[in-house]
Amino acid sequence: MSLLELDDVSVTYRIAAGELPAVRGVSLSLDAGAALGVAGESGSGKSTLAMALLRLLPKDARVGGRILLDGEDVLAMKWGRLRAVRWAAASIVFQGAQHGLNPVRRIGDQIAEPLLVHGLAKPDAARARVAELLEQVGLPAWRARSYPHELSGGQRQRVMIAMALACSPRLIIADEPTTALDVMVQAQVLTLIKELVAEHGISLIMISHDLSVLADVCDQLAVMYAGRVVEHGPSGEVFHEARHPYSRALAAAFPTVGDPVSRMAPKGLGGDPPDPMQLPGGCAFHPRCPVALDECASLDVALWPSGPGRTAACVHVKAAESVGVAGAEEEGS
């Protein structure tokens, strides 16, 4: 059985102007010990999806579908159960390490906090565990007494990782863990995550706009556009031979780290992400698509098989596969 299973998950924000669909029917699954990357532009719904996994979205968000963590539906949990699951079963490494740490509390206390909250350790044992965790992420134990502002961005992100490991969770959700870090530090942090996850057999969901980063760390890749998964498959294949034109654009972008322009609009792709309040009909990507057909404006796209263990939501894929499938049927008969 898979550790995490998303079944037709949707998130809608109720705002003054009406309903804003941020995630629209996402189904994914993640096996124990596996790593899944979720890619997409800002506003594609990938971070909203990550927050929905532990029901951390603001009150004006409505989550639909099912989120099965170890077979138990997170969305149906009572508050007490949900609190017990948070961090102990699945923890999060947040984006922007600047603000993820409480600026006026020592980092040791912040790492120990989940241990104490979940009753996993007494204060003394927690202190020892903090030292051990800091060691694991490559920071000296005395750093526990520092305040976040005394650390560099890379060190803060290491602290976040140590914090995420505190309760030995089975799943870590890393939301843009390397955004706003220098290239060198980014590589160090990625290596660290990769090693720790492999060492402890933790499953990983990593969210990023950078396909190359995800391809490096994850086994599976899901590309999101306008709240939907548009392509899914083994990460190497999706990265090197994407079937969806949007994935191709993302893969070709190689965005410059820290450059907001390349983050907002990958190279070779004109236009802006669609306004979620006014999504284009048919395939949401068709106004920006370099290979769009007339029918894309009205056709209901869905994830169609695009190869062994791969799916993509593009009319070209559907055409190719249906020919292929038709051919296979003919051969079989």
Partner 1 sequence: MTTPLEAAEPAAIQAAGPGDERPTYRGMLRYALSKAGGALFSIAMVLVGTFFVFRLLPGDPVRNLAQGRNMTPAQLDLERRRLGLDKPLLDQFIDFVGDTLRLDLGTSYEYKRPVLDLIGERLGPTLLLAGTGLVIAVSLGIWQGTRAGWRHGSRFDRFSTGTSLLLWSVPTFWLGLLLMMVFGVGIGPIPGILPFRGIESVDAPDGFAYLLDVGSHMVLPCLTLVAVVYAQYLLIMRSSLVEEISQDYVTVARAKGLRDDDVRRHHAVPNALLPTVTLVFMRVGFVVGGAVTVETIFTWPGLGQLFYQAISVPDFTLMQGTFMLITVAVIVMNTLADVVYHILDPRVRSA
Contact positions toward partner 1, by CB under 8 A? 51, 54, 56, 83-88, 91-92, 94-96, 99-105, 113-114, 117-118, 139-140, 142, 145, 147, 149-155, 163, 185
Cα separation, 294 vs 312, in Å, equals 19
Shortest distance, CB of residue 140 to partner 1, whole angstroms?
Answer: 6
Q: Are 109 and 147 in contact (CB under 8 A)?
A: no
Shortest distance, CB of residue 37 to partner 1, whole angstroms?
Answer: 20
Residue with smaller CB distance to partner 1, 149 or 267: 149
Residue with smaller CB distance to partner 1, 175 or 231: 175
- C-alpha closest to that of 130 among 117, 118, 142: 142
Count CA within 13 A, CB hemisphere, residue 18: 5
Shortest distance, CB of residue 154 to partner 1, whole angstroms?
Answer: 5
Cα separation, 93 vs 90, in Å, equals 10
Residue with smaller CB distance to partner 1, 94 or 304: 94
Q: What are the strands, taking DSSP E only, across 35-143?
A: 35-39, 61-69, 72-73, 90-93
Q: What angle do CA 212, 214, 216 make, to 5 degrees?
A: 70
Cα dihedral across residues 201, 186, 177, 288: positive or negative:
negative
Residue with smaller CB distance to partner 1, 172 or 226: 172
Q: Are 192 and 161 in contact (CB under 8 A)?
A: yes
Residue with smaller CB distance to partner 1, 102 or 191: 102
Residue with smaller CB distance to partner 1, 61 or 313: 61
Number of H helices, E strands in the chain: 12, 12
Shortest distance, CB of residue 189 to partner 1, whole angstroms?
Answer: 11
Kindly state the helix (H) or strand (E) to which residue 193 belongs, with its residue range: helix 183-200
Shortest distance, CB of residue 91 to partner 1, whole angstroms?
Answer: 7
Shortest distance, CB of residue 319 to partner 1, whole angstroms?
Answer: 43
